[in-house]
Amino acid sequence: MEHLLVVGLGNPGSRYAGNRHNIGFMILDALSSKWSLSWKASKKWDEGANTDSKYRVHLLKPLEYMNLSGNAVASLAHTYKIPASQILVVQDEVDLPFGKIKNKIGGGTAGHNGLKDIVTKIGSSDFHRLRFGVGKPEKGHMDVADFVLQNFTSEEKVTLPDLIQESVKKIEDWVGVTGKLIDKTKETL
């Protein structure tokens, strides 16, 4: 059975639950709820898996701090022999305005410490990314690191549920397309 890995980035603990930096966790929680999955916790990550198709989709929330996200990703990818091309990382993106959601394959990390650690630990930047725009502070008002560790504003919280559902749909689309590519690749071997 082929494996896909969807990683939601965030920081562990209730203190960070509503932070912009934890949007990856929020989106994976919504996806696991939609798929009726329960999280299986270990000391280093929460994992859920969907086996409703020809391939197994693993959902992963690293439970070490953002800067150490690569440990869990590399461990799970190694265990199931999942190449970077079959990994999707759901992340917060300060270079996009709040609510803008974009897909990307590969490229740099733009200073995102979670992405940097994943690239270092898996040895590749050629994974897929779902970039959720969280905006950035006005110049000179606040450090970006402090900004992403703040909760969404009350205005942002009004549209956040719809944006999370839009992100879930994009993940499901990626799983469908990537799964078809996997099946097609298997046929041509």
185 is a domain residue: no
16 is a domain residue: yes
Provide the residue-wise pLDDT of the chain in tens; the chain has 189 residues.
Answer: 788 999 999 999 999 999 999 999 999 999 988 888 877 766 656 666 666 556 788 899 998 899 999 999 999 999 999 999 999 999 999 999 999 999 999 999 888 999 999 999 999 999 999 999 999 988 777 888 999 999 999 999 999 999 999 999 999 999 887 766 655 433 322
Catalytic residues: 21
128: CATH: 3.40.50.1470
101-135: pLDDT as tens digits: 999 999 998 889 999 999 999 999 999 999 999 99
Residues tagged in the binding site annotation for tRNA: 16, 65, 67, 113
Residue 62's nearest CA partner among 112, 118, 128, 15 is: 118
167 is a domain residue: yes
List of residues 6+ apart from 31 with CB closer than 8 A: 6, 59, 168, 171, 172
117 is a domain residue: yes
34-54: pLDDT as tens digits: 888 877 766 656 666 666 556
Residues tagged in the binding site annotation: 16, 65, 67, 113
> pTM for the full model?
0.90
Q: What is the pLDDT of residue 69?
A: 94
77 is a domain residue: yes
The total domain count for the chain is: 1
> H helices of the chain, where?
23-34, 69-80, 113-122, 144-148, 154-188
188 is a domain residue: no
Q: What is the pLDDT of residue 46?
A: 63
Element containing residue 56 per DSSP (H, E): strand 55-62
Show the domain range for 141.
2-178
183 is a domain residue: no
184 is a domain residue: no
SS3 7: strand
